[in-house]
Structures are given as structure tokens and as C-alpha cells.
Amino acid sequence: MSLERVRKEVVELGRLGRREPVAVHRAEGLDPSKGIFRLEGTRQMTDAREFVLGLMRKAGLEIRFDRVGNMFGRRQGRVSARAVMSGSHLDSVANGGQFDGVVGVVGGLEAVRRLAEEGYPHERPIEIAVFFGEEGSAFGRGAIGSAVLAGMLSQADALNLTDENGTSLRETLRWSGHVGDLEMQLADDVACFVELHVEQGSRLYNTRTRIGVVDRVIGSSWLSIVITGQQNHAGTTPMSERTDALVSAADLILQVKRYAETMARQYDGSAVATVGRLKAFPNAPNVLSETVELGVDVREMVDERMEILMNQILDAVSGLGGRYQVSTEAVVRHKFGVADLSPTVVGTIERCACRLRLTTSRIHSHAGHDAMNLARIVPAGMIFIPSQQGISHSPMEWSDWSDIEAGIRVLTETLKDLSRLE
């Protein structure tokens, strides 16, 4: 019954997240053109949060919002003490997948429901968190809510972030109504944090391992780059007289790829760099581009190496001016260092999975998560379940319901152990 409940809720959140509402129960029903568009500030996101709020209220949780849109549902413990926190995010990338983030939110809620139905007398309170803006798709910065909670980003700076239409996060929250006055002090209010998530890679799937026990989260940085040339006529401007911003952007994209490939070959293969956003103006086939905006994602498992890779890319941006007579501007949108997770929480997850006779593997996360921010303040851990074919950030993302069930069982047992006061 409880797995069927989870299945219905995950499918419904997927339906609410699509521009054309479609309920997908099986992998065969996926459509590459019908992904999730649950960006912060959209109707899809508001509907999803309202749906989860209803589930939390039905479960008897105490609902609270903070000033940057983080949403919390609390089940009180037997004593007044720092809470055990679990949860994840509901927002998606554009045209994303059905399980990313959602498994951690619904899974955390389901674990609390199972504890209540079992009558388990947990001593610490258990807090289910829905973090604001983890993907960064709407406001150009990832993990917004957890960064504010961990003191890595001020409330004022977060609220002043704007989307591509110039709408501030403050205005978005006012429109949605999902904002409150909770002032959570992480170190004082939370004892530890556990996040359940799909792996978003192929290691568990390829090795047929049921549970990934994450001990480190990769570092990441985002760069926003603007290249400015001279708009002109594509037919009448000689090749020797062109200042085409898009040509210089193409050169930069190839340099980013080469730098990351070189570092990956030189070290352990964890270095990656991606130009995932490209916006040309005026974006017409018969006009030389005046400006091009690029979004660059850089990741490495060692902070010092990520710094080297970032500096190589920034130097490449600076070098475009002399080669192409363009002007350039580069801004670091966010920068998260490598996060080592708590040996205590990691060990607890591992023991619980073994107790349930599930195969496990210690792995690093090559994707960023809210856990990486909370881990800087409180002991934190992550539970991964397999992603079919390693596909994620795609409409074709899928995880088996049996694997989701296994992850929830591990999370439930982990919350039991961590909720004790010893």
C-alpha cells in the first residue's frame, strides 16, 4: 500500500510538472518532447508545492516557511531537541525528469508516515525540507534555499536575484504566497541531515547495486559570460571586416571542452566543463551577432583543480578580445567547494542498508545537491538509488519503483537510528 501511495504521488507531481499534463507510470510512457518544466515562479511549480503542502498537512505535519521560500514539515519527537532533517527539492531543469529531487521529498514524507503508522517513538523531531531553487534554472544560481539556510548566501542577496524577465525572487515569492518568517538557525535547530536522491549517473545501474552511500559531493561553479561584437549585414560585410560575437563564442566553447578533457586525462577523470546555455542577439541568419551570452558549468572533485580549470576558462575569455576584436565580461554566478559528508551519518546509512540486506557501494556524487551546503554546518549524508542507463536532467530519466522503495526503506531505518538522543 505505501509503495503504491508513493507511486501515485510521484506520478502526480510529474503530471503537474509538464506543460501538457501527462501521467507517466512506466518508462515506456516517457516522451523526449514532454519533460518537466517545474521552474521556480511557474504555475507548474506552484501547483507542485501546493500538492506537497496538502500531503504534509494530511500527514499531520506542522508547516513552516522561511523568508526565501524553503518549506518545512515537522513531526514532533518525544523530547524537545534538535531535529533530524530530510528532504530535497521540487524544482527542475527545463525539460527535465520526473524523479530528480522529487524522490527525496516524497521519500522523506513517506518515511515519516511509515514511522507514524508503525507507532515508532522517535525522540528527536523529524523535519522534512523542500528547498527553494536547487537547480538554478530560474534565477541563474543553484541551491539557493539551502545556501541561505547554511549562511553561504544572505537573504537580501537571494531575494534580489532576478530571472531572465527581470522578476526578482522577492516578487516571485510574494506572488506564490509560499513565504514566511521562519528564522531557522541550522546549527542550533538541526542535529543532522539525510537526502535521498536518484544517482543521476550510471555506476549503480551498471553494477546492479541497490544503494549508493555518498561520502563526497563534487565542487561546482557557474560562469555567465557576455561577448560583444558589432552587428552588421551578413551579405555585405567582408569576412576580413567582421566582428562577430558568435564566432568568438564558438572558439570559446571548444576551448572549454579542451581544457576539461586535458584535466580529466591528467587526473582521475572527474573534471567536466559544459557550455549549456547560448543566447545570441539578434539571432537572425542574415545578421552578424552583436552579443552572445554563455552559461558555463565547471565541476571537479578537488577544489584546487577546479580553481585551475576556472582560471583557464577565464583567461580564454580575456584572450578573445585580441583575437576577434570583441569585448568580454565574465561573472561567477556561484561557487561551491567540494563537500565531504559526515562519517557518522554515512556509516549509519551503510549499516541500515546492510541490515535490510541491500547491496551498497561507497560513491562520490558528481552532481551538486542541497546536502553539500548543509554538510558545511551539520553532519550530513546522502542515499542514492540507481538511474536507468545513468540518464538524468532529461525527460527520459527513470528509476525503478522497486529501487525507490529500497531507498525509502533505508531512509526510514536511518531516520530511526539518527532520531535517538544518544
User: Three-state DSSP class for 386?
Assistant: coil
CATH of 220-336, one of 3.20.20.70, 3.50.50.60, 3.30.70.360, 3.40.47.10: 3.30.70.360
pLDDT reported for residue 124: 97
Query: Which residue is listed with cell 584535466?
Result: 263
- Asked whether the beta carbons of 186 and 380 are under 8 A apart, the reply is no
- Asked whether the beta carbons of 214 and 399 are under 8 A apart, the reply is no
Superfamily of domain 2-217+338-418: Zn peptidases (3.40.630.10)
Cell of 275: 557550455
Cell of 96: 527535465
pLDDT reported for residue 176: 87
- Asked whether the beta carbons of 40 and 139 are under 8 A apart, the reply is yes
**Nearest C-alpha neighbor of 25 from the set 405, 407, 399:** 399
Per DSSP, 119 falls in state T
Alpha helical stretches, state H, 325-400: 343-355, 370-374
Cell of 286: 542574415
Tell me which amino acid residue 330 is. A
| H or E element, residue 258 | helix 245-266
- Asked whether the beta carbons of 271 and 309 are under 8 A apart, the reply is yes
| H or E element, residue 195 | strand 190-198
Phi then psi for residue 277, to 5 deg, are: -135, 130
pLDDT reported for residue 63: 97
Give the domain ranges of the chain. 2-217+338-418, 220-336
Q: Per residue of the chain (422 residues), what is the pLDDT tens digit? A: 589 999 999 999 999 999 988 999 999 999 999 999 999 999 999 999 999 999 999 999 999 999 999 999 999 999 989 999 999 999 999 999 999 999 999 999 999 999 999 999 999 999 999 999 999 899 988 899 999 999 999 999 999 999 989 999 999 999 888 999 999 999 999 999 999 999 999 999 999 999 999 999 999 999 999 999 999 999 999 999 999 999 999 999 999 999 999 999 999 888 999 999 999 999 999 999 999 999 999 999 999 999 999 999 999 999 999 999 999 999 998 888 899 999 999 999 999 999 999 999 999 999 999 999 999 999 999 999 999 999 999 999 999 999 999 999 999 999 999 999 87
Phi then psi for residue 210, to 5 deg, are: -75, -40
Phi then psi for residue 209, to 5 deg, are: -95, 135
Separation of alpha carbons 89 and 368, rounded Å? 12
**Nearest C-alpha neighbor of 137 from the set 39, 35, 32:** 39
Q: Is 354 exposed, middle or buried (0-12, 13-18, 19+ CB in 10 A)?
A: middle
- Asked whether the beta carbons of 259 and 316 are under 8 A apart, the reply is yes
Separation of alpha carbons 422 and 420, rounded Å? 6
- Alpha carbon of 175 to those of 169, 210, 420: distances in Å? 10, 41, 40
